[in-house]
Amino acid sequence: MIQSPCVAKCGVNEDDICMGCYRNIDEIVGWSKADNAFKAEVWKQIPARKAALGKGENSQKISRDKWQEVAARLEGDTVEA
């Protein structure tokens, strides 16, 4: 099992990237259902994202509505695939 990069400082910037763990909202919402290959790939991308984004700011918390919207979309993607 690959551990989540979450650092409990959640909040996304204007591009829906969490400035705590540097995952995008799709990666955050889909993490629990993702396979290890996907998780390993996300972990590989985090250092470059962190370097590119620097110490950006969280412009907004991930709302429950936004979380549910993304979860529903990801569930739809899984069904269609």
DSSP secondary structure, the chain, as one string: -PPP---S---B-TTSBBTTT--BHHHHHHGGG--HHHHHHHHHHHHHHHHHH-S----B---HHHHHHHHHHHHHHHHH-
Please state the rounded mean pLDDT for residues 28-35. 94
The mean predicted confidence, pLDDT, of the chain is 85
Question: Is residue 17 within 8 Å of residue 24, measured between CB atoms?
Answer: yes
How large is the average pLDDT for residues 29-45? 95
| Count of CB atoms situated within 10 Å of the CB of 22 | 21
pLDDT of residue 81: 34
pLDDT of 54 reads 78
Question: Mean of the pLDDT values across residues 30-46?
Answer: 96
pLDDT at residue 57 in the model: 62
